[in-house]
Amino acid sequence: MRRNWGGEYENVAILVAIAVNEDGYREVLGAAEGMKEDKASWISFFQWLRGRGLNGVKLVVGDKCLGMLEAVGEVFPDAKYQRCVVHFYRNIFSVVPRSKIKLVAKMLKVIHAQESKKAAREKAKTVVAALYAMKLKEAAKKIEDGVEETLTYGDFPSEHWTRIRTNNVIERLNREIRRRTRVVGCFPDGNSALMLVCARLRHVAGTQWGNKKYMNKKHLEAALDDASIAR
């Protein structure tokens, strides 16, 4: 967003975190102003959330934001990271000719339609080989380098896979925020921007999310129990 800073207007970021709580309902954890989406801003934001009582984080889902990824490792070292598959696809499409995007999209979706993490890895190798054969070397290399980050969901119950392998939920939330803030244009200060963002977050959480359960956490509890027994 654009806001006034010392008499000049510049872009600043509003960092937002949402989660699924222990009862399976979505909730907004918090929002804060960050000068940039860099590591320092994300660390400060995550530490603020942790200081307010956030704990037990099992998984962090996001796009390939290096600042956020590095911050997760420092503040929530026990949490796993899932790279959004939609953003992963878009990154690959950026080096694919437009005439072949539909075909490549089908190939990518097959990877994440496998019944297990192991099967997905094997399918990814097949897709990479096919892309090299199609002379799409850059796309093949991107899959080789990044596909593992997109398969973390396979470590969790299959009933949750469609919920945790993308960050579509927060993307929809961000679109709703932008729809409102775009009307304002430039904010006079950071506090006014943050207040409007928080107002929209409360509105969405209260009206669209309501009391609708997003995930059945019993599946996760059972998986964790099985894992502890296996040890």
Per-residue pLDDT of 195-210, as tens digits, reads: 888 999 998 888 888 7
What is the CATH code for 1-83+167-215?
3.30.420
Cα 156–chain centre separation: 16
Higher pLDDT, 31 or 186: 31
pLDDT at 67 over 70: yes
C-alpha separations of 39 from 10, 112, 167 in Å = 20, 29, 19
Predicted local distance difference test score (pLDDT) of residue 225: 57
Q: Quickly state the pLDDT bin for 138 (edges 50, 70, 90).
A: very high
Residue 68 near residue 42 (C-beta atoms within 8 A): yes
Q: What is the CA radius of gyration of the chain?
A: 20
Write a three-state SS string for 154-222: HHCCHHHHHHHCCCHHHHHHHHHHHHHHHHHCEECCHHHHHHHHHHHHHHHHHHHHCCCCCCCCHHHHH
Q: Quickly state the pLDDT bin for 152 (edges 50, 70, 90).
A: very high
In the numeric block, the tokens 């009206």 are attached to: 207
Instruction: Give the list of residues 6+ apart from residue 8 with CB closer than 8 angstroms, or none.
Output: none
Rounded Cα–Cα distance for residues 111 and 188 (Å): 47
Residue 123 near residue 110 (C-beta atoms within 8 A): yes
* Residue ranges per structural domain of the chain: 1-83+167-215, 85-150
Predicted local distance difference test score (pLDDT) of residue 126: 97
Per-residue pLDDT of 178-231, as tens digits, reads: 888 888 878 887 788 888 889 999 988 888 887 788 888 887 777 665 544 444
Identify the CA nearest to 78 among candidates 231, 226, 224, 198.
224
Listed in sequence order, the DSSP H helices in the chain are 39-51, 66-75, 85-93, 101-111, 117-133, 137-146, 161-164, 168-184, 190-204, 218-230
Predicted local distance difference test score (pLDDT) of residue 217: 80
Per-residue b/e over 92-121, b at no fewer than 16 CB within 10 Å? Answer: bbeebeeeeeeebeebbeebbebeeeeebe
Rounded Cα–Cα distance for residues 123 and 126 (Å): 5
Per-residue pLDDT of 157-177, as tens digits, reads: 999 999 999 999 889 888 888
Predicted local distance difference test score (pLDDT) of residue 35: 67
